[in-house]
Structure 1
Amino acid sequence: MIRTPLRPLARILKARDQGQNPDSIEAENIRLRNEADRDHDRNRAEGRFLVMGIAFFCAFLVIGTRMGMLAGSVPEEPIAQASGSPIVGQRSDIVDRNGRVLATNLDTHSLYAQIPDMIDPAKAARDLAAIFPELEEDDLLKDFTGERRFLWIRREISPEQMQAVHDIGDPGLLFGPREMRLYPNGSVAAHILGGATYGREGVHSAEVIGVAGVEKYFDDFLRDPANEGAPLELSIDLTVQAASERVLQGGMMLMSAKGASSVLMDVHTGEIISMVSLPDFDPNDRPRILTEGDQSDSVLFNRALQGVYELGSVFKIFAVSQAIELGLIEAGTMIDTSGPLTWGRFRIRDFHDYGPELSAENVIVESSNIGTARIAMMIGADRQREFLGTLGLLLETPVEMVEAPTGDPLLPANWSEISTMTISYGHGLSSSPVHLATAYASLLNGGYRVEPTIVRQDGPRRGPRVVSEQVSAAARDMLRAVVVRGTASFGDVVGYNVGGKTGTADKPRPSGGYYDDRTIATFASVFPANDPRYVLIVTLDEPSVEALGEQRRTAGWTAVPVAAEMIRRVAPLLGMRPDVETLTPTGVSLSSN
């Protein structure tokens, strides 16, 4: 810094000429300079204090505002979740093939307690127990007077319950907005939809997650905000599903069966139009999983998808069709049916004595075990196994439901010659009704493999060819003959040209062997048989009905009439008009002018 000299020579000389004292002038200059320095320092200090004051004021203002906001808000319950991960509450709807809602979201509220804010815990406990009968007053009071600061009371409450709690008037009882999963059709399609529950949750939102069925299989899709609310479109038809459930429920009761299932499938697309498992449940109030006993007795068990059974004579059409495809026989080829057929220590018998021989077609019509076993011997184990595999009977079904992998077919440990014979008439290999529907659709749609699906498709999905068109047509003709003059005579529905095959299998004992009085009765049908559109599988577990003075357990007396009634109900819903022959009137002529 350059400083001005305090005693410049010119000023000193001038002061002397004027008779002034240079020392006085110097002292005055020093005083003025010191005052200027003090004023400068004071101004700088005052500026710093002003800036610091403003900064402290802003800081206290922000902190005070935040504290006020926290004091007036409701703290969230601590939850175990990843840091910074938001809770996504919105979930896409599920609709049927026509856009009708199967699952949706409903705005509701949760109820919780901020216990330190409660003014009368005893009264609150008493009043809450009166509003919610499932809650115990003593348990609530224990929670309210213990060390807990937060308590979930109900995850979902109705508007009426919310008003009743509000009338209690305790400031520690608070409500939080949330969405709940609603199934507006109750138990309809319960096993398909599965159900949902809450995952991560706070007092202001909750994450809805699937626990079974398509809700769980498509959980990521349904929760993905990128879908912008686009619904999941299923292949099922709600009206057909509801009608199928009503008919099957009535049939199960009439036939005194412990359980039942049905599968209706489009033969060209593999779409499942309806799938029923009884007994069922309401997904709005999903029951708990059984912790003991046989899981197949649970209402949550999907008999159509998870239930694997020896399905009996419905398999016979596979053996005859394969033999025709291989050129080993034709529909009119005579087959030796004399019996019993002995193989080592095993004996294969027929339900009736059909004489020394039957045509291949009549082996199907009369349901001859011996005739089918002899045809299977012509085919051989390796070719039989390969053919059943191409029909999808040996692997888990690819249906888009989490339960599908639990319905794996049960195969023989050693696919021996005797296994080849018994499998040909549906014993020694267990599969699900969905497997059977897929195999029938592939065989009867013209001979193309289809994959089963629960998701709506835009058109036919043809896979590899499994049999020729001619063999497929021959199989349909044989199945039609079973209904017209065979074991499924109760299955004929006027105008719909139904074809099908019955199957009755004794249930295996857990300890080995088979029951004498417990069966699985199945009817596998196609309609119309001359121009197939749908296959329908109806299975009854342990049916028994009295007819003509006897207890009847076979499929012809039990599953067949139930399937016929189901076709009669659902065919019009599918847009199918009965093909009734029009009679030409005689004796009357109409003329126009």
Structure 2
Amino acid sequence: MIRTPLRPLARILSARVKGENPDHIERENIRLRAESTRAKAQHRAEGRLLVLGLAFFAAFMVVGARMGLLAASEPMEPRSAGLGAEISGRRADITDRNGRILATNFSTHALYAHPKQMIDPARVALELSALFPDMKAEDLERRFTDGRSFLWLRKKLSPEQMQAVHDIGDPGLLFGPRDMRLYPNGKLASHILGGASFGVEGVHSAEVIGIAGVERALDSRLRDPAQAATPLALSIDMTVQTAMHEVLETGMRMMNAKAAAGVLMDVHTGEVLSMVSLPDFDPNDRPTPLLKGDPADSPLFNHAVQGVYELGSTFKIFTTSQAMELGLVDAHTMVDADAPLRWGKHRIGEYGSKNYGPLLSVTDVIVKSSNVGTANLALRIGGERQQEFFKSLGLFDPVPLELSEATGAAPILPKRWADIVTITASYGHGMSASPMHLASAYSAIANGGVLLTPTLLRRDKPPAGKRILSSENARAAALMLRQVVTRGTASFGEVEGYEVAGKTGTADKVKRGGGYDKGKNINTFAAMFPASDPQYVLVVTLDEASDNSSTRPRRTAGWTAVPVAAEVIRRTAPLLGLRPQIEYAPLNEVSAVSQ
């Protein structure tokens, strides 16, 4: 920087020549230098003030804009979703095989509160407790006055409830719109659908998630935004479901049963057309699970899938079918049926201490339901081959069904497969399976020997299955089951025009601590119809049923499960499109007609 001197020599010399005072030059330069310094400082200060003013203006504009946005919007409570995550309440509808709605979405509102905005918390608490009996006024008032700023009150409201809350007129009560799951058919198919609830929740929306049944097992499919507009079609026929539900409910009451289950399957596709478990529940108001005691006592318990029981003599047809498949016997082979059969310290007898021996044909072993005859067939088959055949029928694994409960309902098997297990398992004791397992296995016999994976989803074409029996042996087994109805233990199962075939099973219930309860039975009838060309399999199971219409209670399946199953077939066969086969009288037969 070049500094200008206060007393420049040239100007000093010039002033002296002119007779002027050189001090005036120095004073003038000092003045000019001071003015220049002051001008620069003023300019710098004005610039700084301008920048500071602009900064304050911008800050006040941001704060003002934010305050305006907050004042114009409703507050939202904290959410568990991550930053930027959007809550989606969309969920695909569920329909039956004919497109009837089983589950859909319904717009409703949730109720929440901002206690700090309430005018009169005590009055609000009192009026809310009057509207909702499960709320206590004392608890509400305490929560309204403990300093919190947000409080959920109800997850969903009916339109009438919403209007009643609105009429309370307090600004601290607010409503949040959301979708909820609606089941228009109530209890029908409740164990199939299961139910749904709310997941991640916000003031303006809530995530709907499946908590049981198909809703949970296929939750990802139902929540997929790409498929939200496409309903999920189940294999269930709601007309058939309604008929079976009504018959089972009436039969359960008439037979004094504790619980009941029914499964109806298409033997050629593996589709479950109807599945009923009683007692049941309304998925619109799903009850709370039991925290102690027997889970089977809860209406949430699915007896058709989760109910794993010893299914008794219904297993005998598996033993005879395998013996025929191995070439050990045919339908007319005579086998030892002399009772009792002693095996080591064990004594195998017949129901009612009967003796059907010394010999019975294989067909009559099934018709008369001989334990001893079946046991002798099983000993000829052997334990290893018996286990392989039961595995091929799916009796060793959880049933592969689209239900969240199915994966945990594995059959109960003995730890060691000794000879006595081979004997008892041949007639359905010593191992346990569900009615759904039984229906799937009987379908393999009914359709000609091919095991299909059961499904609750509608199939457009029959799937590929695994052959476990030749068509000839499967047909022979079906004819044996037909004779069980025409001249055996299931005589009450005959339905005119529909050729019912099937097998009864009566088994003592297993106690929780081990052993059997002789006074309590699981009664089962596994049927197929029409026997000449089976199209459907029906399994009906009653828990602790007893026919008390006589002087002595009758607790066998022939008196309890069979007539109930017959009524199910009588009601559902026409709905399934089956035309009754009419047997015409001979032309030369004369009929008497009274006038």
TM-score (norm 2): 0.90
Which residue identity is paired with 1:75? Answer: P
Specify the alignment match of 1:15 in structure 2. Answer: none
Are residue 508 (structure 1) and residue 504 (structure 2) matched?
no
In structure 2, the CA distance between the partners of 1:510 and 1:167, relative to structure 1 (3 Å rule), is closer
Distance in structure 2 (CA, Å) of the matches to 1:460 and 1:51: 80
Larger mean Cα displacement after TM superposition, 478-487 or 61-70: 61-70
**Which runs of 4 or more aligned residues in structure 1 lie more than 4 Å from their structure 2 counterparts after TM superposition?**
34-59, 582-587
Q: 1:410 aligns with which of 397, 409, 412?
A: 412
Tell me the CA shift for residue 64 of structure 1: 1.2
Distance in structure 2 (CA, Å) of the matches to 1:56 and 1:226: 49
In structure 2, the CA distance between the partners of 1:585 and 1:354, relative to structure 1 (3 Å rule), is closer
CA contact (8 A) 2:523 2:542 kept: yes
Distance in structure 2 (CA, Å) of the matches to 1:433 and 1:271: 15
Are residue 581 (structure 1) and residue 583 (structure 2) matched?
yes
Distance in structure 1 (CA, Å) of the matches to 2:565 and 2:37: 109
Are residue 147 (structure 1) and residue 147 (structure 2) matched?
yes
Q: 2:392 aligns with which of 369, 390, 393?
A: 390
1:226-241 residue pairs with structure 2 within 5 A? 226-241=226-241
Distance in structure 1 (CA, Å) of the matches to 2:522 and 2:228: 46
Which residue identity is paired with 1:230? Answer: T
SS at match of 1:552: coil
In structure 2, the CA distance between the partners of 1:115 and 1:586, relative to structure 1 (3 Å rule), is same
Are residue 562 (structure 1) and residue 564 (structure 2) matched?
yes
Specify the alignment match of 1:217 in structure 2. Answer: 217
Tell me the CA shift for residue 456 of structure 1: 1.4
Specify the alignment match of 1:87 in structure 2. Answer: 87
Distance in structure 2 (CA, Å) of the matches to 1:410 and 1:433: 13
Tell me the CA shift for residue 51 of structure 1: 8.1
Specify the alignment match of 2:295 in structure 1. Answer: 295
How many residues align? The count is: 586
Distance in structure 1 (CA, Å) of the matches to 2:167 and 2:490: 65
Are residue 129 (structure 1) and residue 132 (structure 2) matched?
no
- Residue deviations 1:27-51, cap 9 Å, x none? xxxx99x999999999999899778
- Residue deviations 1:303-338, cap 9 Å, x none? 110111110110011111111111111101111211
Specify the alignment match of 1:274 in structure 2. Answer: 274
Distance in structure 2 (CA, Å) of the matches to 1:198 and 1:330: 58
1:100-115 residue pairs with structure 2 within 5 A? 100-115=100-115
Tell me the CA shift for residue 146 of structure 1: 1.5
CA contact (8 A) 1:522 1:540 kept: yes
Tell me the CA shift for residue 196 of structure 1: 1.3
Tell me the CA shift for residue 406 of structure 1: 2.1
1:184-583 residue pairs with structure 2 within 5 A? 184-351=184-351, 352-581=354-583
- Residue deviations 1:144-200, cap 9 Å, x none? 121222111111111111111112111111111111111111111111111111111
Distance in structure 1 (CA, Å) of the matches to 2:517 and 2:158: 50
SS at match of 1:382: helix
SS at match of 2:377: helix
Distance in structure 2 (CA, Å) of the matches to 1:464 and 1:41: 98
Tell me the CA shift for residue 343 of structure 1: 0.6
SS at match of 1:317: helix
Q: Percent identity?
A: 60
Larger mean Cα displacement after TM superposition, 546-555 or 444-453: 546-555
Q: Which runs of 5+ in 1 are unaligned?
A: 2-30, 588-593
Which residue identity is paired with 2:145? Answer: T
CA contact (8 A) 1:269 1:462 kept: no
CA contact (8 A) 1:391 1:443 kept: no
- Residue deviations 1:184-220, cap 9 Å, x none? 1111111111111111112111111111111111112
Tell me the CA shift for residue 548 of structure 1: 4.4
CA contact (8 A) 1:524 1:536 kept: yes
In structure 2, the CA distance between the partners of 1:46 and 1:573, relative to structure 1 (3 Å rule), is farther
Which residue identity is paired with 1:569? Answer: R
Tell me the CA shift for residue 342 of structure 1: 0.8
SS at match of 1:82: coil
Q: Which runs of 5+ in 2 are unaligned?
A: 2-30, 590-595
In structure 2, the CA distance between the partners of 1:530 and 1:39, relative to structure 1 (3 Å rule), is farther
Distance in structure 2 (CA, Å) of the matches to 1:533 and 1:462: 17
Which residue identity is paired with 1:161? Answer: Q
RMSD after superposition: 3.3
Which residue identity is paired with 1:134? Answer: D
CA contact (8 A) 2:91 2:228 kept: no
- Residue deviations 1:343-363, cap 9 Å, x none? 111111122332321111111
In structure 2, the CA distance between the partners of 1:121 and 1:548, relative to structure 1 (3 Å rule), is closer
Specify the alignment match of 2:22 in structure 1. Answer: none
